[in-house]
Chain A
Amino acid sequence: GEDVEQSLFLSVREGDSSVINCTYTDSSSTYLYWYKQEPGAGLQLLTYIFSNMDMKQDQRLTVLLNKKDKHLSLRIADTQTGDSAIYFCAESRGGNNRKLIWGLGTSLAVNP
Chain B
Amino acid sequence: DGGITQSPKYLFRKEGQNVTLSCEQNLNHDAMYWYRQDPGQGLRLIYYSQIVNDFQKGDIAEGYSVSREKKESFPLTVTSAQKNPTAFYLCASSATGHEQYFGPGTRLTVT
Chain A residues with CB under 8 Å of chain B are 2, 30-31, 33, 35, 40-45, 48, 88, 92, 97-100, 102-105
Chain B: which residue is nearest A92 at the CB level? B98
26 example contacts (A-B, Cβ-Cβ < 8 A) are as follows: A30-B98, A35-B102, A40-B105, A40-B107, A41-B104, A41-B105, A42-B4, A42-B90, A42-B104, A42-B105, A43-B90, A44-B102, A45-B100, A45-B101, A45-B102, A48-B98, A88-B42, A97-B98, A98-B31, A98-B50, A99-B48, A100-B100, A102-B42, A102-B43, A103-B42, A105-B42
Q: 9 closest Cβ contacts across the A-B interface?
A: A42-B102, A104-B42, A98-B97, A43-B102, A97-B97, A102-B43, A97-B98, A42-B104, A102-B42
C-beta contact mask, B55-90 vs A, less than 8 Å → 1, else 0?
000100000000000000000000000000000001
Contact pick for B99, options A30, A40, A45, CB 8 Å: A45
B94 within 8 Å of A (CB atoms)? yes
* A88: contacting residue among B4, B43, B58, B101, CB under 8 A: B43
Alpha-carbon separation in the docked complex, A30 to B4 (Å): 25
Q: Is B52 an interface residue (CB 8 A)?
A: no
Cα-based distance from A43 to B107 in the complex (angstroms): 14
Known: A31-B98, A45-B101, A88-B42. 5 other contacts (CB 8 A): A40-B107, A45-B102, A88-B43, A102-B42, A102-B43
A105 to chain B: closest residue by CB:
B42
- Alpha-carbon distance between A31 and B97 when the two chains are bound, in angstroms: 11
Q: How far is the CA of A45 from the CA of B3 in the complex (A)?
A: 13
Complex-state Cα separation, A45 to B41, whole angstroms: 19
Residues of A within 8 A of B92 (CB): 43
Q: Which of A42, A48, A102 contacts B103 (CB 8 A)?
A: A42
Q: How far is the CB of A44 from chain B (nearest CB, A)?
A: 7
Give Cα A103–Cα B42 distance, bound, in whole angstroms. 6
Q: Which residues of A contact B58 (CB under 8 A)?
A: 99
A28 to B94, CA, bound (A): 21
